[in-house]
Amino acid sequence: MEENRNLRQPCFITREGDKVDNTILKIEHISKFYPGVTALNDVSFTIQKGEVRALVGENGAGKSTLIKCIMGVEVPNKGTISLNDNGNWVSGMDALQAQAHGMFANYQHVNISPDLSIAENYFLGRVPRTKLGLVDWKKMKEESQQIVNKFKMDVNPQAKIKDLPIAMQAMVTISKISVNEDIKLVIFDEPTALLENEKVETLFSYIKELKNQGVSIIYISHRLEEIMDICDTVTILKDGTYVDTKSVSEVTKETLVSMMVGRKMSDIYGIKHFKPGKELLRVEGLSDETHFQNIDFTVHAGEILGFFGLVGAGRSEIMRAVYGVDRYKTGKVYLRGEETHIRNPQNALMKGIGFLTEDRRADGLALPLEIKVNINMNSYDIISSAGMINLKKEQERAEEFCEKINVKTPSIQQQVGNLSGGNQQKVVIAKLLCRDPEILIFDEPTVGVDVGAKEEIFKLIEKLTEQGKGVILISSYLPEVMGLADRLIVMSQGKITVCYDNEQMQNLTEEQVLMAASIEE
Amino acid sequence: MNKKSSNGVKHFYQHTEFSLIVIIVILFLASVFGTKNFFSEYNLMNLLKQCSIIGVLAIAETFIIITSGIDISIGAITGLSCMAIALLQSKAGMNIAASVVLAIVIGAICGFYNAIIIYEFRVTPMIATLGSQTIIRGAVKIISEAKTVSGLNKSFTVLGTSSVWKLPSLALIWIVVAIIAIFVLRYTVFGRNLYVMGSGVEVARLSGIKVRKMFYMVYSLCGMLCGIAGVMLAARINSAVPTGGEGYEMDAIAAAVIGGASLSGGRGAVTGTILGTILMVLITNAGTQFGLNTFVLEITSGVLITLAVVVDQIKSRK
């Protein structure tokens, strides 16, 4: 019967035209466009019952978008996704329907209610009731305790989520999936990013258990060895297009990487490097006691200093402190050899430090305002006298930088909110350069930007270093920092774990850097 | 819609200002030819006087709305400085100049207090000013012993009845305030910074704008304008009542919103607000001349406000 069929070992011999009853998910010709960016372009593949499928690709390859489309969170512009619900093909599901049909996802960012307990989160929206229709707290407690035990989480199910360490929160979101009864497909998006080794083992045994029950898994991870460990097959995406699906036994890490990247790194990251000049910025023993401790680094004229670390490593927090947005408790900052104290962003700008923030929409751009105002936003003190703006200069500077940075717009009066992501990013960069700072901090300068715009941004950084500016480049994308930086600082849990100089960087591998980024105390 | 934000991209007829002018002209002409008394000097003067006080308050509110805030204490502040000037002149026998200055300063202090609650204690503007509105209303009743105060200086109340070049003095004050406000929003760094703050406080902070100072400045400025409105109110009604200025905040918000200011911040212009004020007052005035039921007129104003916001939503969705 149903169960018997589920227990049968699924076959993945061919990728097309399998036995129909064994296919659980069909993705057919999916395309998804965002303004200015093609996130997915005609992607098709299928997943079998009980298969553990890895999904790999660079950042921006379209993995997250694809998951959102599968889970009904985003609606694709073209194509269909259909699920085999006991012999019936269901497609065009929204987020609620997707769950009702047995598809569940564990997203990259912990998405549980912080003010509720573990038990309440488990049973969110499906609270057990007594005969009188009241909440059956006893049953909820018992069942939650069982789940907690099963996942070897040494924690009281009554504990509030916000009181738990982040790794435990991640574990709650993973174990929450097991509350559901009819599970057909589970998507794990970077589930191990926040977990310790021991918990990774627990996760893997859960995945195996699901597989044995005939549940299909989509597993996304940057850690290729994990994929080799627990996945049956692997699908490679690149720049929003489908590359191939292989059995894990027929690939190696090297072949995977080459399929993921598909082009020579040097093409896009091939910028000229210059001989570093005098010291511009030196930071010694900087700590804020919560996000980062004992940070030392130096930036010279004409060099790019790279910062790499996993989410929560504290890179952006350091830069916010240096720029005067947040306070630091101890440590010293030297500008051009002299000790200085930067009290606020205005102070930083006056002293020649510019900061491109990670989240352009939240803290970089004034979306309802025109391009002209956005570009001049942090330099009105320069183009005004006695509080009066020199409108002619405002206009000229906006036009000049729009042209320099190649912002594509019909007019500088255009509202920034109407521009595409790549063009918005160019406007923030124009805003940064317009002030002509000597030290530039780029925090994730290529987030949500397509390859063409990326290349333009890299060329711009090259030009800046040629002019003798000091550049700090923060990126979560390894090839980017490794390809561009002259020196590379790797951080883990608020501390610098290693600093590679120019020579060491010549023979550096991604694995070495990742190892350094995941060093724990 | 903010005129500046779309200049050169949109044509003039696509602006909120253009539609408002068309409606105002139609309504005006209809009233001129449809009623007996609308186009009399007395009524037109009256219309302008009605506009003046709300007009000044609507400009004050526009500044606040641009920063994505809202101030519902402006009516109460107006009432307070109106009462203050009446008491200072009648009970304390203070001279005109000193009492006017003091009444305006009292308004500015109230605004400054709002800024403390909003910025230092991170209370949302709506709740902060709801609190101060209630406090100020209570204070007005205490200092006036809940009685109407009259006996203002005759040479002061002339302000409420006199005209300069055929314009009521009150309207002249409104025009001067409006011109200064237009200038500040268009040509000064302070004005630009208000729009940036309205788009996002974090954006403003990271762009080197002193956000704290800006909060204090804009709310104090708003309070100061309320102080001016209070002085105008005292001159116009020749006395001060304990409930003076009640409900003015809603008219002011309505005028700003009809004029294209967006409550989500970053958008708004004084020209639009002026037209919004005129339209609001014109509907009531013309409606009365046509002999329409006042309650029907209330509904009409309500529909107009809703319509303005709906149109704005539809436009911003495109």
Across A33-68, b (16+ Cβ under 10 Å) vs e yields eeebbbbbbebebbbbbbbbbbbbbbbbbbbbbbbb
What would the mean pLDDT of A45-51 be, rounded to a whole number?
92
* Average per-residue pLDDT for chain A: 85
Are A291 and A341 in a shared domain? Answer: yes
* Average per-residue pLDDT for chain B: 89
pLDDT in tens, A81-93: 999 888 888 888 8
Query: Which residue type occupies A211?
Result: K
Nearest Cα residue to B181 out of B301, B261, B249: B261
Q: Nearest chain B Cα to A357, which residue?
A: B206
CA distance A209 to chain B (A): 47
Chain A residues in contact with B187 by the CB 8 A cut-off are 388-389, 391
What would the mean pLDDT of B265-272 be, rounded to a whole number?
91
Give burial (CB, 10 Å; 0-12/13-18/19+) of A70: buried
CA distance A201 to B35: 86
CA distance A355 to A345: 9
A322 domain residue, yes or no: yes
How confident is the model at residue A163, as a pLDDT? 82
A449 domain residue, yes or no: yes
CA distance A271 to A268: 8
How confident is the model at residue B204, as a pLDDT? 92
Are A186 and A324 in a shared domain? Answer: no
A233 domain residue, yes or no: yes
* Domain end call among A262, A295, A316: A262
Are A233 and A373 in a shared domain? Answer: no
* Domain end call among A375, A404, A436: A436
CA distance B315 to chain A (A): 12
Are the CB atoms for A274 and A467 separated by under 8 Å? no
Determine which helix (DSSP H) or strand (DSSP E) holds B275, and give its type and residue range.
Answer: helix B270-289
Are A427 and A456 in a shared domain? Answer: no
What is the tally of helices (H) and strands (E) in chain A?
Answer: 20, 22
A362 domain residue, yes or no: no
* Domain end call among A436, A467, A487: A436
A113 domain residue, yes or no: yes
What residue has token string 């500044």?
B63
Which residues on chain A place their C-beta less than 8 Å from a C-beta of chain B?
Answer: 323, 325, 344-346, 348-350, 355, 357, 362-370, 373, 377-378, 380-381, 384, 387-389, 391, 410-411, 413-415, 431
Across A366-398, b (16+ Cβ under 10 Å) vs e yields bbbbbbbbbbbbbbbeebbeeeebeeeebeebb
- CB within 8 Å: B209 and A363: no
pLDDT in tens, B192-218: 999 999 999 999 999 999 999 999 999
Which residues on chain B place their C-beta less than 8 Å from a C-beta of chain A?
Answer: 2, 4-9, 187-190, 192-193, 195-196, 198-200, 202-210, 262, 264-267
* Alpha helix segments (H runs only) across A285-340: 315-322
Are A207 and A347 in a shared domain? Answer: no
Which tokens in the block code for residue A28?
């057919």
Are A203 and A65 in a shared domain? Answer: yes
Chain B residues in contact with A389 by the CB 8 A cut-off are 187-189, 192
- CB within 8 Å: A363 and B200: yes
Q: Provide the 3-class DSSP secondary structure of residue A27.
A: strand
- CB within 8 Å: B5 and A363: no
What is the number of other CB atoms lying within 10 angstroms of the CB of residue B315? 14
How confident is the model at residue A36, as a pLDDT? 60
- Of the pLDDT bands very low, low, confident and very high (cuts 50, 70, 90), residue B180 is very high
* Residue A128 or residue B77, greater confidence: B77
Determine which helix (DSSP H) or strand (DSSP E) holds B64, and give its type and residue range.
Answer: helix B41-66
How confident is the model at residue B6, as a pLDDT? 39
- CB within 8 Å: B9 and A380: no
A332 pLDDT exceeds 90?
Answer: yes
Nearest Cα residue to A85 out of A55, A51, A49: A49
The number of distinct structural domains making up chain A is: 4
Are A277 and A300 in a shared domain? Answer: yes
Q: Phi and psi at residue A34, in whole multiples of 5°? A: -110, 160
Q: Provide the 3-class DSSP secondary structure of residue B188.
A: strand
A125 pLDDT exceeds 80?
Answer: no
What is the number of other CB atoms lying within 10 angstroms of the CB of residue A205? 14
A399 domain residue, yes or no: yes
Task: Please give the CATH number for the structural domain made up of B3-317.
Answer: 1.10.3470.10
Are A170 and A139 in a shared domain? Answer: yes
- CB within 8 Å: B188 and A378: no
pTM of the model: 0.75
Are A480 and A509 in a shared domain? Answer: yes
A21 pLDDT exceeds 70?
Answer: no
Chain A residues in contact with B221 by the CB 8 A cut-off are none
What would the mean pLDDT of A160-170 be, rounded to a whole number?
81
How confident is the model at residue A407, as a pLDDT? 85
Chain A residues in contact with B204 by the CB 8 A cut-off are 366
A472 pLDDT exceeds 90?
Answer: yes
Its domain, for residue A383, covers 367-436
Are A452 and A518 in a shared domain? Answer: yes
CA distance A434 to A242: 40
- CB within 8 Å: B210 and A357: no
Chain B residues in contact with A352 by the CB 8 A cut-off are none
Beta bridge partners of A89: A84
Q: What is the ipTM of this complex?
A: 0.84
Sheet holding A295-300, edge to edge: A295-300, A279-287, A330-335, A338-340
- Pick from B68, B185, B203, B263 the residue to mutate for testing the A interface (most A CBs within 10 Å): B203
Are A315 and A446 in a shared domain? Answer: yes
